[in-house]
Amino acid sequence: MRPHLSPKRVDIGLMKSIPDNFQRWFEQRGWALRPYQKKMVNAFRKNQSTLLIAPTGAGKTLSGFLPSLIDLAQQEQKGLHTLYISPLKALTHDIHRNLQQPIDDIGLTITVAARTGDTTSYQRQKQRKNPPNILLITPESLMLMLSYADAPRIFGKVKAVIVDEAHSFAFTKRGDFTALALARLQYLSPNMTRFGLSATVAQPASLAAWLGVNGEPTDVLQVNSRVKPSIKILTSKERMPFGGYMGKYAVKDIYLQIAKAKTTLVFVNTRAQAELIFQHLWNENSQLLPIAIYHGSLSKEQRVKTENMMASGKLRAIVATSALELGIDWGDVDLVIQVGAPKGVSRLLQRIGRSNHTLDEPSKALLVPANRFETLECQSAITAIKRNELDGDVPMSGALDVLPQFIINCLCSAPADEEQIYQQVIEASPYGGLDQTTFNQLWQFTENGGYALQAYERYNRLQKREDGMFEPASKRVIMRHRQNIGTIVEAGRLKVKRLRRSHQGKIIGEVEEYFAQTLVPGDTFYFAGEVLKFEGIKDMMVEAKPGKAKEPKIPSYTGGQLPLSTFLADGVRELLNSPKEWKKMPKQVVEWLELQRSFSMIPSTNKVLIEQFPYRKTQYTLFYTFEGRKANQTLGMLATRRMERMGLKPLSFSITDYGLSISSIEAVTSAHLPKLFNPDILGDELEDWMLAAPMLKRSFRRVAIVSGLIEQQYHSTKKTMKQVTFSTDLIYDTLREHDPDHILLRVTREDAERELLDLQRLADMLIRFDQQFDFRVLSKASPMAIPIVLAVKSEQVKGQGAEDLLEQASLYQEAENMLQEVKDLLNPNGAGKTI
């Protein structure tokens, strides 16, 4: 929290709204109270909930706390006065540090404490017994505190709640979860004022509605940035690859930029990329510049160490993932380098905002596309920022799987009946439209599983008391609930222990279980910025020693993928069709586009380009739709189904924002296309196919964990994801067969629509481009196809194609040759023997 250093005179007229000691503090620091900060103080006095939208460096966080600090200074109070909710643990620690300063400087007796998953149980007890005036908390920890019987005492007098970085999670499942927590808080403390702090967003009104009670938008205070950032694409003399997502080719140039700047933040898109770029930067590091690495899989100690070094100005650069994207104040960063495509305009702005933390000077940023296609995306993003166009999440109705969790959470704190909880739920904006029937079904599920066939009272999670109120059926239900609060379903992880000798060593972070399983003793991999040699897995820990290797593996993190913005895809299509604009991009990229034009063609605006070519022993079909990831995902599901029916034996598909690539055993020909790329693939069997698809099973796994059907954590031993995955797939199949109307199947379908599918956009496209396509049969992958074909994750299709592959690989006798053997089998010597 660094209020802006203003060269302007202190405006005495505005200062009247704050007490003298605060005024002096501002003056001592040479700061001006900004108009919106004054407005926040007044909003609090009028109990007017408000959303403050301001660019980074505007003193946003202080604006949020100022009303509370003043109120607490003017009348000393016991107990909790203000709750600060942050999506990031690291943020609460940073805020704590910075909030303590004015309190100490002014000499206030305000108590502040942070509470996250990392808080010790001693501290937690203390906080509950004797709550601080200001509590800094994550949504999950807040929900946990709300589940205790003393919640009304602790939260009953809360006057203000501040939701920081609201834009970053409001329209996600975690946002739904937070909205419910806010509704419960408001129920406990009806006069609470809500403040939201946000970076610039595309639609302030929707965010204000999310923050408000009952969908009633709060006031919006918008502060605009005076200067636009200066963003360029880094030009490298090295050869830029056609495919791949790492950006390794540009490491030399990145290093030169770091050496020129004071402090640089190097943002990458995945943790694997962070490890790789970090390692290669150190290979280049002839000047031995202090360069560090930061991502979510490193241990807390490692991260805190890096944070502190950065805060005290000891580092010249950090290679970081989105874990560093939000609000943390890094002091004197003067350059941000984005390696890999920015994936969204708002995200790019957020990252760029990390540099030059003041309002009046432009932030400086360099974009390093990892492949030639990404250059198009980078250029489109730069254009969008120039034109002030933002992308953003769209509000959706609240996720239903969060509700069983919320119901139990409320009942853990105090007994209640269905109607009371329903009233609180519909106060939360995302759930304003929730109908009573759906809620009742979810209540039934919470109570006893809600299955059509069975109802054994002894397995009920809730029990009805004589007064008609419900409470958890046992201590176990309560304990299990508290250990599983949250909406973040993570891939199974194993801790990494760096061995010094025998089994002694330090935990330095986590890798995904899936990756750990691919390692055999002796394998080497990059982790926490060094090369480690894998020794084995012991007590759910990966044990490894420092080692050396030419080509170590890189841990992959499935959760590390950034979701793509659909917005940029349109920009890319536009750019492709404006050759005049091409010259803004590096020469290599223009050459690549020209190569594409002569080898295949540039996708036009009025037709969809479809390419077909053999690759890696199978056949590939590429659809350049430019309709965004979700629509492409849906098209992938439907097109592979149609291909399966046509006997083309599809194997898998992968998607990007721009297109869809399907691999199959048989080649798609122009004769197939009219039936394949046709609006009628959205036909009647859609529902059934969708429910059977592996992706829906993944949705079901998330839904099953969040709704409490199965647990992620129990008795503080994390159930490994492998076990969870296995059982949820089977549960899903069982439910579909024996209880097809079960509420969780509906919830799964809705979850998939939120996260994966975009039927509307796909339908629009299929109708718009009905039979309007350019089909090219090629001898190999086109220049433009390479990055899509190489896309990291692909969806497998379970069907004839996969069986064919297995058949090719398996050892089989021909049926005719087996005849004699069968006869022998069925008429053995001494046939009819029994045991």
Partner 1 sequence: MISEKDLIARLSNKQSCIVEFANNRFLLDASGTLFWPDFDLLIFSDLHFEKGSFLSQFANPLPRMDTRKTLDNMQSVLAIYQPKCVVCLGDSFHDGNAISRMEIGDIELLNSMVNSVHNWQWVLGNHDPEIPKEIAGKSFVSLTQNNILLVHEPEDLKKINEDNKNTQSITAQIIGHFHPKMRTKQSGHSMSGKCFIVAKDVLLMPAFGQYTGGLSVDDSAIKSMITDNPAQFLLYGQKIFNMR
505-544 residues in contact with partner 1 (CB under 8 A) are 517
Decide if residue 503 touches partner 1 (CB under 8 A). Answer: no
Bridging pattern class, strands 134-137 and 112-115: parallel
SS3 195: strand
Task: Tell me the closest approach of the beta carbon of residue 821 to partner 1, in angstroms.
Answer: 6
Decide if residue 717 touches partner 1 (CB under 8 A). Answer: no
**Could you say which of 437, 539, 812, 820 contacts partner 1 (CB under 8 A)?**
812
Question: In this chain, which stretch among 137-145, 320-328, 352-360, 442-450 interacts with partner 1, using CB under 8 A?
Answer: 442-450
**Could you say which of 312, 578, 606, 834 contacts partner 1 (CB under 8 A)?**
834
Q: Which is nearer to partner 1, 35 or 521 (CB)?
A: 521
Question: In this chain, which stretch among 159-167, 328-336, 445-453, 539-547 interacts with partner 1, using CB under 8 A?
Answer: 445-453
Q: What is the DSSP string of 537-569?
A: EETTEEEEEE---SS-B----GGGPPPPPSHHH
Please tell me the distance from the alpha carbon of residue 505 to that of residue 329, in angstroms, as a whole number: 32
Q: Which is nearer to partner 1, 123 or 808 (CB)?
A: 808
Task: Tell me the closest approach of the beta carbon of residue 706 to partner 1, in angstroms.
Answer: 13
Q: Which is nearer to partner 1, 352 or 477 (CB)?
A: 477
Q: Which is nearer to partner 1, 491 or 710 (CB)?
A: 710
| Structure token digits, residue 445 | 């599920």
Q: Which is nearer to partner 1, 11 or 807 (CB)?
A: 807
What x-and-dash track marks residues 50-69 binding partner 1 by CB under 8 A? --------------------
Decide if residue 559 touches partner 1 (CB under 8 A). Answer: no
Decide if residue 822 touches partner 1 (CB under 8 A). Answer: yes
Decide if residue 13 touches partner 1 (CB under 8 A). Answer: no
718-747 residues in contact with partner 1 (CB under 8 A) are 722-723, 726-727, 730-731, 734-735, 737-739, 742
Q: Which is nearer to partner 1, 472 or 571 (CB)?
A: 472
Residues 6+ apart with CB under 8 A from 698: none
Strand partners, 624: 609, 659
Task: Tell me the closest approach of the beta carbon of residue 640 to partner 1, in angstroms.
Answer: 13
Query: HEC string of 361-427?
Result: CCCEEEEECCCHHHHHHHHHHHHHHHCCCCCCCCCCCCCCCHHHHHHHHHHHHCCECHHHHHHHHHH
Task: Tell me the closest approach of the beta carbon of residue 177 to partner 1, in angstroms.
Answer: 20
Question: In this chain, which stretch among 145-153, 382-390, 523-531, 821-829 interacts with partner 1, using CB under 8 A?
Answer: 821-829
Phi, psi of 235 (to 5 degrees): -100, 130
Q: Which is nearer to partner 1, 651 or 706 (CB)?
A: 651
Q: Which is nearer to partner 1, 427 or 535 (CB)?
A: 535
112-171 residues in contact with partner 1 (CB under 8 A) are none
By CB atoms closer than 10 A (0-12, 13-18, 19+), residue 826 is: exposed
Task: Tell me the closest approach of the beta carbon of residue 520 to partner 1, in angstroms.
Answer: 9
Decide if residue 708 touches partner 1 (CB under 8 A). Answer: yes
Select from 413, 414, 427, 408 the least CA-distant residue to 469: 414
410-439 residues in contact with partner 1 (CB under 8 A) are none
How many CB atoms sit inside 10 A of residue 508's CB?
20
Cβ distance 477 to 461 under 8 Å?
yes
Rg (CA), the chain: 29
**Could you say which of 476, 587, 597, 793 contacts partner 1 (CB under 8 A)?**
476
768-807 residues in contact with partner 1 (CB under 8 A) are 796, 798-799, 802-803, 805-807
By CB atoms closer than 10 A (0-12, 13-18, 19+), residue 569 is: buried
Task: Characterize 8-20 residue by residue with b for buried, 16 or more Cβ atoms within 10 angstroms of its Cβ, and e for exposed.
Answer: eeeeeebbebbee
**Could you say which of 437, 605, 811, 820 contacts partner 1 (CB under 8 A)?**
811
Task: Tell me the closest approach of the beta carbon of residue 189 to partner 1, in angstroms.
Answer: 30
Residue 688, CA distances (Å) to 295, 397, 644, 684, 835 in order:
40, 24, 15, 9, 46
Task: Tell me the closest approach of the beta carbon of residue 768 to partner 1, in angstroms.
Answer: 33
Decide if residue 689 touches partner 1 (CB under 8 A). Answer: no
| Structure token digits, residue 275 | 């490890």
Decide if residue 809 touches partner 1 (CB under 8 A). Answer: yes
560-619 residues in contact with partner 1 (CB under 8 A) are 616-618
Helix H or strand E segment including 194: strand 193-198
**Could you say which of 26, 282, 451, 769 contacts partner 1 (CB under 8 A)?**
451
Cβ distance 214 to 182 under 8 Å?
no
Please tell me the distance from the alpha carbon of residue 520 to that of residue 199, in angstroms, as a whole number: 45
**Could you say which of 448, 565, 656, 661 contacts partner 1 (CB under 8 A)?**
448
Helix H or strand E segment including 112: strand 112-115
625-664 residues in contact with partner 1 (CB under 8 A) are 651-652, 663
With contacts defined by CB under 8 A, how many residues of the chain interact with partner 1? 71
Q: Which is nearer to partner 1, 46 or 459 (CB)?
A: 459
Task: Tell me the closest approach of the beta carbon of residue 816 to partner 1, in angstroms.
Answer: 9
Select from 403, 413, 470, 411 the least CA-distant residue to 436: 403
Cβ distance 270 to 557 under 8 Å?
yes
Residues 6+ apart with CB under 8 A from 598: none
Question: In this chain, which stretch among 251-259, 471-479, 572-580, 770-778 interacts with partner 1, using CB under 8 A?
Answer: 471-479
Task: Tell me the closest approach of the beta carbon of residue 556 to partner 1, in angstroms.
Answer: 13
**Could you say which of 149, 288, 671, 826 contacts partner 1 (CB under 8 A)?**
826
208-267 residues in contact with partner 1 (CB under 8 A) are none
Residue 810, CA distances (Å) to 453, 647, 803, 813 in order:
42, 21, 10, 10
Decide if residue 480 touches partner 1 (CB under 8 A). Answer: yes
SS3 819: helix
Residue 321, CA distances (Å) to 232, 500, 571 in order:
20, 28, 25
Q: Which is nearer to partner 1, 494 or 608 (CB)?
A: 494
